[in-house]
Amino acid sequence: MRAIFAGTPEFARVALERLHAAGFDIPLVLTQPDRPAGRGMKLQASPVKQFALEHGIAVAQPHSLRLDGKYPEEAAAARAAIEAAQADVMVVAAYGLILPQWVLDTPRLGCLNIHASLLPRWRGAAPIHRAIEAGDAETGVTIMQMDAGLDTGAMLLVEKLPIAAQDSTGSLHDKLAVLGGRLIVEVLELAACGGLHAVPQPADGVTYAHKIEKHEATIDWSLPAEVIARRIRAFNPFPGAATTFQGEAIKLWCCEIDSVSRMSGKAPGTILSADAAGVAVQCGTGVLRLTELQRAGAKRLPASEFLRGFALPAGAVLG
């Protein structure tokens, strides 16, 4: 089996590593162009590119694959590289570019996508964030035969994974990346012996995981404590839930639900107590205890350490 791999972030790198370790022939990797990152905003290669270069795999980084788009020369060069690879299949994981029909049609077995949800729930860009934010009890990975729609293709293999009570997007991402790497190896092994059976996605239960926008991170303290807690977990590590105190932004990384129903008579956002156990805040209903916080330009700190350098007095109001 010759497999082209298309992916960009760490989630995709894990799958590429598993395919490489399993002995699949990977003649070509497609990944996003290098982007500025870090404090110096220097160009940085994607995790997928870094792995490919370390293992001597050819890399293509077109800005677009549309032959009639803004970068036709880059798309044409990528097409030549894809055709020259003579791959049986293309594996796609969080690549970040739309695949035109010519790409879907080029490999003998088409393009297979590693999607971090139980399709058709959470089609789209941010399935891990949205599953936690919505309070889902489980998620998983779907290996899908790609078509022209947005995550609408037939399912080849699905495995569920429970969402733990304290899972953040970061911790759940890592679990799903490992699961996705294992499943794509299983699928390609099945494909090699003609054992794949595609199942159309159900028409019911379709939801869309829209891209996370930074403005969503601002906490609305009038919401119930459980909803705010889920958002803090969903937005960890990106974009990071946030509130303000006396004009200064504070990131909120970890929390516990102190109560789902307690009402103090105070306005939402009011600090009820602040000690080594955390910062207890009145919500629309219930009380949330913030246990890990961060000032702008500083480190993430447990509440006990944070409060030694930044006072959050009882009675003050966040946001």
pLDDT digits (tens, 9 = 90+) for 42-64: 999 999 999 999 999 999 999 99
Q: What is the mean pLDDT of residues 11-35?
A: 98
> Does the pLDDT at position 24 exceed 80?
yes
pLDDT tens digits, 242-267: 999 999 999 999 999 999 888 889 99
Of all residues in the chain, what percent carry a pLDDT higher than 70?
100
Provide the pLDDT confidence category of residue 194 given band limits of 50, 70 and 90.
confident
* Range in 29-43, 68-82, 147-161, 264-278 with the lowest mean pLDDT: 29-43
Residue 38, pLDDT above cutoff 80: no
Q: Which residue do the tokens 């790409």 mark?
A: 103
Residue 41 pLDDT: 84
Tell me what pLDDT residue 104 has. Answer: 98
Across the range 116-142, mean pLDDT stands at 98
CA angle 212/219/300 to nearest 5° reads: 85
Q: Which residues pair with 145 in a beta bridge?
A: 112
217-243, pLDDT tens digit by residue? 999 999 999 999 999 999 999 999 999
Backbone angles phi, psi at 177, to 5 degrees: -65, -45
What mean pLDDT is predicted for residues 190-212?
A: 94
Tens-place pLDDT, residues 138-160: 999 999 999 999 999 999 999 99
Look-up of token digits 């941010």? 126
Please determine, for residue 87, whether its predicted confidence score (pLDDT) is greater than 90.
yes
User: How high does pLDDT run on average in the chain?
Assistant: 96
pLDDT at 37 over 90: no
pLDDT value of position 117: 98
- pLDDT score at 28: 98
The confidence band for 197, taking pLDDT boundaries of 50, 70 and 90, is very high
* Residue 296: pLDDT over 80: yes
pLDDT computed for residue 195 by the predictor? 87
The band of 39, judged by pLDDT with boundaries at 50, 70 and 90, is confident
pLDDT at 263: 87
Which residues, in sequence order, are bridge partners of residue 42?
A: 37
Residues 6+ apart with CB under 8 A from 182: 18
Domains of the chain in start order, with CATH, are 3-209 (3.40.50.170), 215-309 (3.10.25.10)
Place of tokens 């102190």: 258
